[in-house]
Amino acid sequence: MRIDKIKFNIKKAEAARDNISNIDLKPFMDNYCLSLDQIITTLAIPYLFMTVGYQQGMLKCLPYSTGLNEIEKLDGYKEKDPKKHAEAIIKHFENKVKESSSQSSALAEEEINKLLENTPPLVDAYRTLGLNTLVNSWTIFEAFSKDLWKYVLNKQPQKFINNLLKSNNRFLNEIEGINGKQISISLLSKFNFDLSNNLGDILAPKYDFTSASGIKTAYIDLLNLEKIELAFLNDKQISQLEITRHLIVHNAGIIDEDYLRRTTYKNEKLNGEITISHKDASTMINASVESVIELISLIDKKTKAVNKT
């Protein structure tokens, strides 16, 4: 996997953030965009180091590539004034460095591409970085979905708690610390004896935010939505990212039967190493970015700005 060729739709995420009408939701997109940027930076560092190292090596060889005869032909070199003599040489080398920097950048890219394609340790290292990128992309998508859900219920409990109760009339009885109409002292003390702004934190553990289907159920119950309103979570690439992340984290990227049953990719074999191109990685990651954009837009429409306390 050529991680330097993975493309992120971070500009689209930033545009969605800037278009949010509920200002209370903007910090969620700020953090999400920052997390994306951190992933991109992590991917760029190895390539950046190799490029800079190659360019520095080229520049160190520069003085030896300039012959004495070339210097002697410079305008001002034969001037009797030592200052003009020195200025001529300095200007010459400044031009040479500038020219070399431009040329070395293209040469560096060519040489690094050869290294990445033909050096097994680098190929393995880049593959690992690429797989970690997929894991991190799913992780921030999952965390974003859960944190946003908790925030909505914490901020507007009166508006949304009835939706949850209607979705499951045994809901409250299944929460640790709550038994019928009684609430344990330990649960109350955990939230400073005020549950009014903490219902999201209390109820979120009853939902599964580690899968696209679980996230979908959580939001349908909270907002009393029709399934079609969360159709974007049915994207096959979201599902592919989910099972790929699971395989990497739980099975070191070695293909198992559960993965084979759910994958959309062809020609994958049981017990083989998962192999993903930079194009497929980009598609999966950007599917999660699109889902975040759709989700924040949906919440923006369903809620109103609430004064922060």
pLDDT the model gives residue 159: 86
pLDDT digits (tens, 9 = 90+) for 183-233: 555 555 565 545 667 888 888 888 999 999 999 999 999 999 999 999 999
Q: Where in the chain are the domains?
A: 3-43+120-302, 61-118
Nearest to 143 by CA among 237, 36, 239, 300: 36
Could you tell me the pTM of the whole model? 0.76
Nearest to 20 by CA among 148, 146, 138: 148
Q: Tell me the mean pLDDT in the region 142-163.
A: 92
pLDDT digits (tens, 9 = 90+) for 44-91: 777 667 666 665 665 565 554 444 455 555 555 555 566 665 666 566
Residue 14 has pLDDT above 90, yes or no: yes
Please give the single-letter amino acid code of residue 268: E
**Six-digit token pair at 2?**
């050529």
Q: Tell me the mean pLDDT in the region 14-43.
A: 93
Using an 8 Å Cβ cutoff, are 296 and 20 in contact?
A: yes
255, 259, 265, 267: CA torsion to nearest 10: 40
* Sign (positive or negative) of CA dihedral 53, 277, 119, 126: positive
Distance, CA of 178 to CA of 198 (rounded, Å): 14
End-to-end CA distance of the chain: 47
Q: What is the percent of the chain where pLDDT is above 70?
A: 68
DSSP structural state of residue 229:
G
pLDDT the model gives residue 174: 57
Using an 8 Å Cβ cutoff, are 241 and 287 in contact?
A: yes
Helix (H) or strand (E) holding 178: strand 178-179
Residue 238 has pLDDT above 60, yes or no: yes
pLDDT the model gives residue 67: 47
Chain Cα centroid distance, residue 206: 26
Using an 8 Å Cβ cutoff, are 88 and 71 in contact?
A: no
Distance, CA of 154 to CA of 150 (rounded, Å): 6
Distance, CA of 180 to CA of 48 (rounded, Å): 60
pLDDT digits (tens, 9 = 90+) for 248-291: 999 999 999 999 999 999 889 999 999 999 999 999 999 999 99
Distance, CA of 75 to CA of 72 (rounded, Å): 9
